Amino acid sequence: MAKRIAAFGEVMMRLQAPGYDLLSQANTLSYSFSGTGVNVAGALARLGHDSYLVSCLPPNPVGDAAAASLRKLGISQSFVARGGKYMGMYFLENGFGPRPSRVTYSNRMESSFNTAPEETYDFESIAKQVDAVHFCGITLAMNDVVRNHMFRFASAVKANGGHVVFDCNYRPSLWGNDGYAKAKPFYERMLRLADIAMLNELDAMHILGLASEKSAREDLLAELIPAVADSYGISVAAGTHRSVNPDNTHSLRGYMYTQRNFFFSDTLTFAVYDRIGAGDAYASGIVHGEFERFAPEKTVRFAAAAAMLAHTTAGDTPVSSENEILKAMERSAGDIER
Amino acid sequence: MAKRIAAFGEVMMRLQAPGYDLLSQANTLSYSFSGTGVNVAGALARLGHDSYLVSCLPPNPVGDAAAASLRKLGISQSFVARGGKYMGMYFLENGFGPRPSRVTYSNRMESSFNTAPEETYDFESIAKQVDAVHFCGITLAMNDVVRNHMFRFASAVKANGGHVVFDCNYRPSLWGNDGYAKAKPFYERMLRLADIAMLNELDAMHILGLASEKSAREDLLAELIPAVADSYGISVAAGTHRSVNPDNTHSLRGYMYTQRNFFFSDTLTFAVYDRIGAGDAYASGIVHGEFERFAPEKTVRFAAAAAMLAHTTAGDTPVSSENEILKAMERSAGDIER
Amino acid sequence: MAKRIAAFGEVMMRLQAPGYDLLSQANTLSYSFSGTGVNVAGALARLGHDSYLVSCLPPNPVGDAAAASLRKLGISQSFVARGGKYMGMYFLENGFGPRPSRVTYSNRMESSFNTAPEETYDFESIAKQVDAVHFCGITLAMNDVVRNHMFRFASAVKANGGHVVFDCNYRPSLWGNDGYAKAKPFYERMLRLADIAMLNELDAMHILGLASEKSAREDLLAELIPAVADSYGISVAAGTHRSVNPDNTHSLRGYMYTQRNFFFSDTLTFAVYDRIGAGDAYASGIVHGEFERFAPEKTVRFAAAAAMLAHTTAGDTPVSSENEILKAMERSAGDIER
Amino acid sequence: MAKRIAAFGEVMMRLQAPGYDLLSQANTLSYSFSGTGVNVAGALARLGHDSYLVSCLPPNPVGDAAAASLRKLGISQSFVARGGKYMGMYFLENGFGPRPSRVTYSNRMESSFNTAPEETYDFESIAKQVDAVHFCGITLAMNDVVRNHMFRFASAVKANGGHVVFDCNYRPSLWGNDGYAKAKPFYERMLRLADIAMLNELDAMHILGLASEKSAREDLLAELIPAVADSYGISVAAGTHRSVNPDNTHSLRGYMYTQRNFFFSDTLTFAVYDRIGAGDAYASGIVHGEFERFAPEKTVRFAAAAAMLAHTTAGDTPVSSENEILKAMERSAGDIER
Amino acid sequence: MAKRIAAFGEVMMRLQAPGYDLLSQANTLSYSFSGTGVNVAGALARLGHDSYLVSCLPPNPVGDAAAASLRKLGISQSFVARGGKYMGMYFLENGFGPRPSRVTYSNRMESSFNTAPEETYDFESIAKQVDAVHFCGITLAMNDVVRNHMFRFASAVKANGGHVVFDCNYRPSLWGNDGYAKAKPFYERMLRLADIAMLNELDAMHILGLASEKSAREDLLAELIPAVADSYGISVAAGTHRSVNPDNTHSLRGYMYTQRNFFFSDTLTFAVYDRIGAGDAYASGIVHGEFERFAPEKTVRFAAAAAMLAHTTAGDTPVSSENEILKAMERSAGDIER
Amino acid sequence: MAKRIAAFGEVMMRLQAPGYDLLSQANTLSYSFSGTGVNVAGALARLGHDSYLVSCLPPNPVGDAAAASLRKLGISQSFVARGGKYMGMYFLENGFGPRPSRVTYSNRMESSFNTAPEETYDFESIAKQVDAVHFCGITLAMNDVVRNHMFRFASAVKANGGHVVFDCNYRPSLWGNDGYAKAKPFYERMLRLADIAMLNELDAMHILGLASEKSAREDLLAELIPAVADSYGISVAAGTHRSVNPDNTHSLRGYMYTQRNFFFSDTLTFAVYDRIGAGDAYASGIVHGEFERFAPEKTVRFAAAAAMLAHTTAGDTPVSSENEILKAMERSAGDIER
């Protein structure tokens, strides 16, 4: 049954060089609008839910273009404020084989979202109109006003009986020196509010400071995730282990910990067309599985297949339907569908 | 020596989303004109023969564009009628890795070709001007008037001493429920008129209803194809076994049965750029080998190499010259030719 | 104050050749989704109203792309059904100077919209949720089932206290021989249901059969429009006189007849970038003026400026905001806005 | 009734910068294949005649692309030889308003056409298969071997009862210093072989050395063209007067002198999209009028309208049908055709 | 003889929507790098001088692309610093006819140029290596640090015997409320340092506060410019009067005041392809004329022709050579150059 | 420390069909300017050196575009002459998997570079301004005048204490029948002038005529390279062994022989995006290592990594920075860099 979910986060304009050109070679860019919140809201809209974005866009033609793009993704803009002056932007140059992709940011700290004043959003009212809300660690890294938005919004949703989803998504470049120490109290506060948390053993060790004598990733996961779930009161913890293979395919295995049990997807190996946003597809798959009361075995496989498909489509925002993901769970490589 | 060959079939407009975009993401399409008849006639024109298409196009700018495209492929339009109102069209969204390509058709049943009245083509006259004619099972699925065109045309060519080529090419979606039962009498009629037939063991079992206790594809082929050839009086039967590998390469092995003997190509494995039309390249290779009186060993290898190359070029219609195919028979992957 | 308006009509896929190429020269197309209903609903959404489309789209990737496009235009899809198999399509080749643009249609009679069965839409329920509904003469030309949809929907809205807008928009090619005679009873029925009607003196004479001894267009208008308004009970009649000048600019003058008075805009003369959809911009301007209770003098000037701007933007669907139209009412040609 | 016409001339590859970019700004080019012979043969094919090109293309992928392009234009390649190594090429940068277009040539003197040896073409055989042949002054400027091809071919056609069309088309840059003196004997020889000649009063004075005391272009035309027609035995002389207006529109008036009478088109004024090849459209219109035995009044108006339309379509080669030209004769600027 | 000139100013990234699309319609952008300093330095490099830019670019892929673009324009980067993090950017949506172009800025206040610290440039050393330096009023509007750069640089050049060019270029949106009052002292300081100043009567009145009882622009110019030149010690004052005509052509007339005399170009009227940067072309033409010691009559006509051509080429930066400008001075509209 | 290096060679215009289209399928091309000299000079400019090209370009818009492109690559044009009429050009059609790429040349023998007269370049002066000069075997194949340029230039540099780099780069198609015999004396003369030579065992055997009884490539290398280095007085010999793998990845291993020792890189295996110019990246890496006095172990690994990266970027000319190459030496496949 369709649920109502809001995602809180910045809308970024992605400006991508064509093919495998560098910015200093090309003279055109393709653009789209994304961000973790956009991606999760868009993915869940595509999966049939009523999705809202809670964000702030500039009242100018760039903001209009972002709004049009959100509508195209099926995201309701009832809770999108217009204010400030600028849009966060990033440039993407596609890598090829041994050459990595490069991302160059514009000054997102001056964006409409990151400069939106305290009173911009009516969280009490929004909280009454949704079943769940999604936050992410990138937003947590922005500034104090944004963090206050997050805490107030999460608390309001909680108070109204809704669920809080938090994706740890720690980005070292956003936290600077001593990043983990700086981030810890904020992460702890969010995790205490969270019902569903996206994280893995590295987050547990580095951000939350848990220690272990294990060394294999699987062992660390088995030891640390239950500890985190217990101490922060998280009912679903989930995440992925990912590796880039020598032949440029990627491998990905999803895990989900709930009701004191671990569930794992198969390790999926596949060619990659567009890497960005695949983690958001995984998160959306977990949320969808919970919304639809899938068995955890199915939820984790669904989320992993959603993440795999997100690597094969253009843009940051997942565009696969439930039906396409279910089919992908049963198949490896496919011929033409006519 | 150059032969004169006519192909009978619909011209379809292919409307393809750019790169790996979905229709709901892009805003441009590239277009081309193809169809099994176009592909075979175009391939044989490229191989040096006088190729004709027997078809019907609308007398409007879309039909003009199709006609220009056929001319570009080297296909003579002496036998292309103009009438009706619409062009058959299909949309193609390219898949990537585990995400399959998607084909969405417009209403081809209303097309100029599928609504062309009985008297549209002067088959008697055409039959006198060609050495061979090519038909395909897709056309056979259209409607009774089209089927009558096929039977009359094939009979006329036969009566004038020409050869009839029939590619079974069974498409389940075109025949609906009880498809095999519905299709069987029409296929039998065409196979009785055919000198060269493209089919494999699955066609023999499913369409023609032959039974076997074997299970391996090779064993089934060895048992069933001679039976079909005998009972329908087919002098050359040919086809391919194809598989999609986990790394997204395709493997393909061609067979040819003639003069009571089987001939096989090597199993070729290769990366795929454009999947559609590769079967038509194989058929064209077999026809060319027969026209040129190649030894069967060479014909089957030539056809398989032609099919492989057709996977590496844009568009449905094979564009490789005889020389390029002969080179590809001797080489696997190649560096630059300067 | 924002009103709720539904438009009833087919969504067409527009496939446009690049620049000034013919279909037989190019190999790419740009595509968008439009139609009179889409254009009016899109224009009114941009002007700040809650816009709905009542239509039917195929449940396939082409229909998905249309739905995404409607969302982007800000049109609510609450009342868009999914069914049938095909999308109406048309090809557009841009003219240049003395060479006219060419439009070639696919078979729209087989489209999802034109084959939607009687029970597709719940008009009673929709009528309760809107303040007004828009219909157009193109839709009226389709078939009996579609016409019945129109009459039932218009009656339901009327019965619920809503307003009915009808744009005569007579297309000779859709009605065939004896078109006017065939169309007359249906037009009369729609006009009797209409509160706001878009038409001019030619419609009055040709479709409705009114006679006059005048010859100048202005005189005919002055005589015939009041007669039509009286006999069909129309509270607002509006339309344009348009001419193509020798230097390829267009001239356009809007009229509006209401409360027994005529109001006219200035004659606007301007360069044209994309001609299609400008009439829908005019109609939307009239509706917006009525919704906002503009003085008729302002409404007719607003509608004419909206039509003028619609000639200067890409695509069929008007994209100008109220503010941009108000500015254009005060200005002729403009330099850069920074 | 369809006639058979051959054009003799070089195929040039046109490499055009996008929009109004300079070569030093852009990084893509669009390409097409043209030349006076291609343009006239293509135009006459579009007008329903059997058109042949007599030319020579390199046996490489560039030559293959040219051949495919000729086929697309409906030009038979029965008489196209393959030999030599290179294609003549030119770069085109579109001008805008007061900035002129720029053409930069590659070394066409080394092209397959300009280095084709004496025995390349079997003119005796070709002459028997055509009703007329077209030559142009650009070809005459190339070299002695090419000129010998021209004289032999024209004589053969004449000997077989066919008609010779010669377009003077004098290009100063191709003849160098003392160009007129150098060119005169060759032009005289071609004009003596010609039945239809495209020229105007400037050609008569500068190339053929006629003198007059008149100064107005019309007076010069009236005096000199009859003299040229008489002394060289030309049955139809035709040409245009053209001017570029301050608002960047062009004006064009066609003349035709036959049976001792002058016939003129109206002066047509129109916006210009692609200037190159319009003269060839005019010549094709005159030839078509003669083939179809139009009255001279109609022929000259038809040719002028054909030339006007050729300014409104992309590429050098005229693409308008007889029907489109006839319509354009009756209309100035046009709205959409649906 | 080639001179050495440095321009001081920000490099902006221009992100332009394709054709006449809005940002909310398109999904690609073309990009280039410009700014008044870039435009003047680029124009003078194209006119044969040694041009330098004194500016600061971020040390990231966007800065690399800007640097590559400057090199392509022939601008030496010896004095381009690398530092800071961001590039100033603006989005451009092309207007059409009555619809104006729209420019939307990103946060240029945070750009590398506008945050470059005091010690970034070694003005003493640069001043010794150039003959002249160019500044503009846009740069003057940025912030105090940037203004200090300007004053220090101008003083250093003056002290070393070089010439100072200052283009008033007042942009209301950059100065905010009370803009003229705020700007006045800075403009006065720059004008006292300037040898060549670009301004007109509006600048004299609004920025410098001069009063007059005249009303016609010409009369105001004749009265106020000599007053300004006298009181600030300016040896050359120059500027343009520009108007947009109802048919969307622009008209432009240049003036130059030097040695107590006024010189005027003809009023040029022309179609416009790309409006931005034309004022910089005019300024460059004046500077070039002074460098080359043209007579003032020629300089002002040269500058006006340069400005006219700059409207006909893509991008902000003028790309016409001296020869092309000289030709344009003698011609209105032109046919093909081959 | 930055060195000054000049490369002597032709600038070629590369005209590339889009994606994997054949020339006979596409209608656009992308273009860039390259050549061995351009590639080496461009690569070394990117690595921080002062790079010069010694070449000749036509004084027309195509030459201007080439010059702009060289500037963009950071190559100084102080020594680029302008003369002659034509640009060497080649067409590139990308291969896919088993289908090889195809290169078709225009007539480069007529190019400005290949027809530049004896006195075009002032080698004495240039030699005084550079630390090293680079030549290649392709240039050596052109004609006697070009070869004399090479010998004079190399001698002048040597006489001035600079270093000579010579890349053997033997292209069979350029030398014709008896190519090796014809080439040998010229190669010997260049090798005697060279300090650094790019070659491998096949060059030693085929061009220089050395014999061996070995058969494995490694053994041949070990035997023949020291012999060549000794007899021609070469201080650094370097080159690669390359193979195309069945899965279309390429493998490459670099060698370097100096001070009587061999040094090898690992065998690198990687996906290939653009094959052309990778050899020039390797040569540039060797030169850079020598300039920077890297240990030979590091130089050979640096050169191999540079070559690998050059396969992953668009265009012929390497665009990787020193930092990017150093990173690639430590990593195989990479995820996103943000």
- What is the secondary structure of B128-163 as a DSSP string? HT-SEEEEEHHHHTS-HHHHHHHHHHHHHHHHTT-E
Per-residue pLDDT at F337: 57
Q: Is C95 on the interface with D (CB under 8 A)?
A: yes
Asked whether the predicted pLDDT for residue E333 surpasses 50, the reply is no
Q: Does residue B259 belong to the interface with chain E, where contact is any CB pair within 8 Å? A: no
CA distance D191 to D186: 9
CA distance F299 to F320: 16
pLDDT for B249: 84
pLDDT-based confidence at residue B219 (cuts at 50, 70, 90): very high
The pLDDT, as a whole number, for residue F334 is 46
Confidence of residue C334 (pLDDT cuts 50, 70, 90): very low
Q: How confident is the model at residue B336 (pLDDT cuts 50, 70, 90)?
A: low
User: Is residue A71 less than 8 Å (CB to CB) from chain E?
Assistant: no
Residue B161 Ramachandran class (φ > 0 left, ψ -120 to 50 alpha, else beta): left
For chain E, the structural domain boundaries read 235-338
The pLDDT value recorded for residue E236 is 97
Dist CA D47 CA D324 (whole Å): 10
| Distance between E277 CA and the closest CA of chain F, angstroms | 20
Q: Which residue has the higher pLDDT, F145 or B1?
A: F145
pLDDT given at position A248: 75
Give the list of residues 6+ apart from residue B23 with CB closer than 8 angstroms, or none.
B17, B91, B93, B104, C61, C62, C64, C65
State yes or no: pLDDT of F247 exceeds 80.
Answer: no
- Cβ contact B36:B167 at 8 Å: yes
Is residue B338 very low, low, confident or very high in pLDDT (cuts 50, 70, 90)? low
Q: Which residues of B touch A271 (CB under 8 A)?
A: 96-97, 248
C-contacting chains (≥3 CB pairs under 8 Å): A, B, D, E
What was the pLDDT predicted at A98? 86
Task: With H, G, I as helix, E, B as strand and everything else as coil, classify residue B94.
Answer: coil
- Asked if residue E96 lies in contact with residue C312, where contact means CB atoms within 8 angstroms, the answer is yes
What is the pLDDT, as a whole number, of residue D334?
Answer: 46
Quote the tokens at residue C233: 């009970």
* 8 Å CB contact of F68 and E68: no
Q: Containing H/E element for A240? A: strand A236-244
What pLDDT score does F333 carry? Answer: 44
Q: How far apart are CA B45 and CA B50, in angstroms?
A: 6
Whether C78 has a pLDDT exceeding 90, the answer reads no
* Average pLDDT taken over every residue of chain F: 94
The label of the residue with tokens 């029907």 reads: D323
The beta-carbon neighbor of B334 closest among F22, F95, F171 is F95
- Is residue A1 pLDDT above 80, yes or no? no
pLDDT digits over B74-105, tens only? Answer: 999 889 999 999 999 999 999 988 898 999 99
Give the per-residue pLDDT at E328. 92
pTM reported for the whole predicted model: 0.92
Model confidence over E264-309: pLDDT tens digits? Answer: 999 999 988 988 889 999 999 999 999 999 999 999 999 999 999 9
Q: Closest CB to B99: pick one of A309, A315, A338.
A: A309
The stretch E312-317 carries a mean pLDDT of 92
The 3-state DSSP class for residue F271 equals coil
Average pLDDT over residues F17-38: 96
Q: Which residues of C are less than 8 Å from E20 in CB distance?
A: 273, 312-314
SS3 E221: helix
CB contacts, 8 Å: E74 with chain F = 68, 71
User: Which pLDDT tens digit goes with each residue over E108-155?
Assistant: 999 999 999 999 999 999 999 999 999 999 999 999 999 999 999 999
> Measured between beta carbons, which residues in chain A are less than 8 angstroms from residue F272?
97
Architecture in CATH of C237-333 = 3-Layer(aba) Sandwich (3.40)
Per-residue pLDDT band at C325 (split at 50, 70, 90)? very high
Q: How many CB atoms lie within 10 A of CB C324?
A: 18
Average pLDDT over residues C244-263: 90
* Alpha-carbon gap, residue C259 to B35, rounded angstroms: 61
Q: What pLDDT is attached to residue A4?
A: 97
How far apart are the C-alpha atoms of F239 and C78, rounded to whole Å? 67
Tell which CATH classification among 3.10.50.40, 3.30.56.10, 3.40.1190.20, 3.90.1010.10 matches the domain E235-338: 3.40.1190.20
Q: Which residues contact C144 (CB under 8 A, 6 or more apart)?
A: none
pLDDT digits (tens, 9 = 90+) for D153-198: 999 999 999 999 999 999 998 998 889 999 999 999 999 999 999 9
Q: Least CB-CB distance to F328: which of A98, A103, A276? A: A98
Structure token pair of residue C294: 């503009």
Is the pLDDT score of F127 beyond 60?
yes
Quick count: other Cβ atoms within 10 Å of Cβ B334? 16
Tell me which of A247 and F69 has the higher pLDDT. F69
Mean confidence (pLDDT) of chain B: 94
- Give me the mean pLDDT over the D282-293 stretch: 97
Closest CA in chain F for residue D110: F107
Phi, psi (degrees; rounded to nearest 5) at E235: -85, -30
Topology of domain F239-338, per CATH?
A: UDP-N-acetylmuramoyl-L-alanine:D-glutamate ligase (3.40.1190)
User: Is pLDDT of E326 > 70?
Assistant: yes
* Mean pLDDT (whole number) for C152-174: 96
- What is the pLDDT, as a whole number, of residue B271? 86
Domain F4-238 falls under CATH 3.40.50.1820: no
CA E75 to chain centre: 15
How far is CA A25 from each of CA A28, F11, F128, F316, F326, rounded to the nearest angstrom? 10, 18, 33, 12, 22
Residue A245 pLDDT: 80
Closest CA to B257 of B234, B278, B279, B241: B234
Q: Which band of pLDDT confidence, cut at 50, 70 and 90, is reported for residue A336? A: low
Q: CA–CA distance from F169 to each of D56, D328, F136, F172 (Å)?
A: 34, 60, 6, 10
Check residue E192 and give left, alpha or beta (phi > 0: left; psi -120 to 50: alpha). alpha
The rounded mean pLDDT for chain D is 94
Q: Which fold has domain C4-236?
A: UDP-N-acetylmuramoyl-L-alanine:D-glutamate ligase (3.40.1190)
**Residue C281 confidence (pLDDT) above 50:** yes
What mean pLDDT is predicted for residues B152-166?
97
Q: How many CB pairs under 8 A join D and E?
A: 75
Band (pLDDT 50/70/90 cuts) for residue D78 is: confident
Has residue D335 got a pLDDT over 70?
no
pLDDT tens digits for F323-337?
Answer: 999 999 987 544 455
CATH number for the segment(s) D235-332: 3.40.1190.20
Q: At what angle do helices E179-193 and E144-159 cross, to 10 degrees?
A: 20
Query: Which of helix, strand or coil describes residue C112?
Result: coil
Query: What is the C-alpha separation between C265 and C259, in angstroms, rounded?
Result: 17
Q: Are C159 and D324 in contact (CB under 8 A)?
A: no
Closest CA to F64 of D102, E317, E334: D102
User: Count of CB contacts below 8 A, D vs F?
Assistant: 79
Question: What's the rounded Cα separation, in Å, for the pair D21 and B66?
Answer: 31
Residue A334 is predicted with a pLDDT of: 46
pLDDT greater than 80 at residue F68: yes
Q: What is the pLDDT of residues E196-212, one digit of tens each?
A: 999 999 999 999 999 99
Q: Do F72 and E74 touch (CB under 8 A)?
A: no
| pLDDT band (50, 70, 90) for residue B1 | confident
Topology of domain B1-161 in CATH is UDP-N-acetylmuramoyl-L-alanine:D-glutamate ligase (3.40.1190)
> Furthest-apart CA pair in chain C: how many Å?
55
**What amino acid is encoded at B333 in this protein?**
A
The pLDDT assigned to C337 comes to 57
Which secondary structure element, helix H or strand E, spans residue F222, and what is its range? helix F217-232
| Structure confidence at residue B183 as a pLDDT band (50, 70, 90) | very high
Q: What does the alpha-carbon distance between residue C91 and residue C81 come to, in Å, rounded to a whole number?
A: 25
Which residue out of F21, F99, F269, F311 would a mutagenesis test of the B interface target, given it has the greatest number of B Cβ atoms within 10 Å? F99
Task: Decide: helix, strand or coil at residue E209.
Answer: coil
Report the pLDDT averaged over residues B37-57.
Answer: 97
Assign E334 a pLDDT band (cuts: 50, 70, 90). Answer: very low
**C-alpha–C-alpha distance, residues D226 and C106, integer Å:** 54
> Minimal CA–CA distance to C217: which of C198, C243, C252, C241?
C241
CA–CA separation, D97 vs E270, rounded Å?
A: 6
pLDDT at E337: 57
The residues, ordered by sequence, that sit 6+ positions from D23 with a Cβ below 8 Å of its Cβ are: D17, D91, D93, D104, F61, F62, F64, F65
Return the amino acid letter for F163: H
State pLDDT tens for residues A187-235. 999 999 999 999 999 999 999 999 999 989 999 999 999 999 999 999 9
Q: How confident is residue D245, by pLDDT bands cut at 50, 70 and 90?
A: confident
D152: its two tokens: 């032999």
**Average pLDDT of span E316-338:** 79
- The pLDDT of residue B309 is above 70: yes
Is the CB of residue B72 less than 8 Å away from at least one CB of chain D?
yes
The answer on pLDDT for D224 being more than 50 is yes
